[in-house]
Amino acid sequence: MGGESCPSRSCVSHPDPVGRVLTCVEASVRASANFSPLAVPGLTMARKINQTLAVSACLLLAYSAFPYVAAQAPAPAPAGGCVPLMDLLAISPDFMLITAALKNSSMAAKLAAPSTAPQYTVFAPLDDAVLDHLQARNMTKEQFLAQPSLETLLSYHVLPQPMSSAQFASGLVMPTLLSSSPLTVELNQLGQFSNQTYATVFGFGTSGTLASYDIVTCQAIIHVINVVLLPKSELSFPEILVRSLEDLPFYGVTSVASELGAVMQPGNDTNEVAAVLVGALQAGFQAQVGAVLYQLLQQPNGASYVAQLTVSAIWQGLQAYFAGPLAAAVEAGYEAQVAAVVQQMLTMVDCPKIRSYVYEATYGGNGIATIDSAAAGMLMSAIQGIPTLQACIASA
């Protein structure tokens, strides 16, 4: 895993100007062929990208070495024969959108500051990755470049120190220029009988595979990635909830429940959140959703929050799915809290819907969840102390 932006400096010192360019291109293509970017599924453009960047970098060096052309250049070539990052991206056809984004932010000035050795690491999304991001977010290119959070998004793709692929290790946490928003890298074996690895970079909302590595410029080491990395601030709460449930041990049950409680404020639409939780239950995250709901029940207004979610599910015809976690809560000794949830629901929906829900929770519905007779008895015992609820159940 690795490569160098310009494999041969002989093009700079070649006595003939045309020879400089030809020598450089030949060396670049030969080196990029030897580099052999990994044939990761979905990354068939890796070799092309590496060749393009290698040739671009060396042509820039050759350009700076031309006595006549260099004299017409707006600025002298950097010392040490390195290639400026912004110049390299600007002439590479696969990075037009990320180059435009950088130029539309203060990040361009940071990454163009004079330097003879890399100071940063940049995970550069391909144009195809940016276009996929725009489609997923229903944005135009103009909206993407004008968004107020562009600086935040770009900062999430830059590490404050140079890091080559040789420094990658599975589980490595990499701080970014976006405060308290790190990236994580994992190394995966290319195939069962291969000793080659490829790297996957995990952001909060998205993860992507590196298509090419170690393109060294004056200001940064570039790694090419096939996705736009999304920090937490770029996600809606339902998206954050899905991501948190997928890796609950990492984010913490208490933290996720607190965030969920913060959304459950009067006037907020809870339908989408309820639908996300149902989707998680359907996808096999019963234990994770249950753990979050149990924790939520411990908060001062927890019964009200869970009641809101359950009523949202009822209106969407999805109450049977919520019956499972709350039935499990009864089994775990939380019958009083569950009874309080049902009591809160009485203020939101009519008695027949409450009866239907209690039936689902105590006896199971649609095969979603069942609890034993002892747990059912505990729930019924708890709700006996609530006259209005008792009357509702008795009227069945």
Report the range out of 130-139, 194-203, 234-243 with the highest average pLDDT: 130-139
The answer as to whether 4 is a domain residue is no
330 versus 228: the higher-pLDDT residue is 228
**Which of left, alpha, beta for 80 (phi over 0: left; psi -120 to 50: alpha)?**
left
pLDDT of 285 reads: 85
Which letter does DSSP use for residue 234 in this model?
G
Do 217 and 245 reside in the same domain of the chain?
Answer: no
Instruction: Judge whether residue 94 has pLDDT over 60.
Output: yes
Torsion of Cα atoms, 199 then 202 then 207 then 210, to 10°: -20
Q: Give the distance between the most distant pair of CA atoms in the chain.
A: 99
Do 222 and 244 reside in the same domain of the chain?
Answer: no
**What strands lie across the sheet with 197-202, from one edge to the other?**
158-159, 120-125, 220-225, 207-216, 197-202, 183-189, 172-174
The answer as to whether 224 is a domain residue is yes
Do 306 and 160 reside in the same domain of the chain?
Answer: no
pLDDT of 17 reads: 46
Residue 396 pLDDT class (50, 70, 90 cuts): low
Which letter does DSSP use for residue 41 in this model?
T
Q: Which of 232, 249, 275 is the C-terminal boundary of a domain?
A: 232
The answer as to whether 3 is a domain residue is no
| Cα–Cα dist 88/99, whole Å | 10
Question: How many structural domains does the chain have?
Answer: 2
Do 245 and 135 reside in the same domain of the chain?
Answer: no
Q: Which of 183, 215, 232 is the C-terminal boundary of a domain?
A: 232
On average, the pLDDT of the chain sits at: 76
Q: Which domain holds residue 200?
A: 10-232
The answer as to whether 161 is a domain residue is yes
Do 257 and 169 reside in the same domain of the chain?
Answer: no
pLDDT in tens, 255-299: 888 888 888 877 777 888 888 888 888 888 888 888 888 888 888
The answer as to whether 41 is a domain residue is yes
Do 66 and 195 reside in the same domain of the chain?
Answer: yes
2 versus 319: the higher-pLDDT residue is 319
| Cα–Cα dist 244/247, whole Å | 5
Do 217 and 241 reside in the same domain of the chain?
Answer: no
Residue 125 pLDDT class (50, 70, 90 cuts): very high
Do 169 and 296 reside in the same domain of the chain?
Answer: no
Residue 148 pLDDT class (50, 70, 90 cuts): very high
Residue 302 pLDDT class (50, 70, 90 cuts): confident
Report the range out of 117-126, 197-206, 311-320 with the highest average pLDDT: 117-126
**247-281 residues labelled b (16+ CB within 10 A) or e (exposed):** ebeebebeebbeebbebbeeeeebeebbbbbbbbb
| Cα–Cα dist 34/289, whole Å | 49
Residue 74 pLDDT class (50, 70, 90 cuts): very low
Residue 141 pLDDT class (50, 70, 90 cuts): very high
Q: 341 with 306: CB under 8 angstroms?
A: yes
| Cα–Cα dist 389/41, whole Å | 57
Report pTM: 0.68
pLDDT of 161 reads: 96
Q: 82 with 219: CB under 8 angstroms?
A: no
The answer as to whether 2 is a domain residue is no
pLDDT of 297 reads: 84
Do 212 and 258 reside in the same domain of the chain?
Answer: no
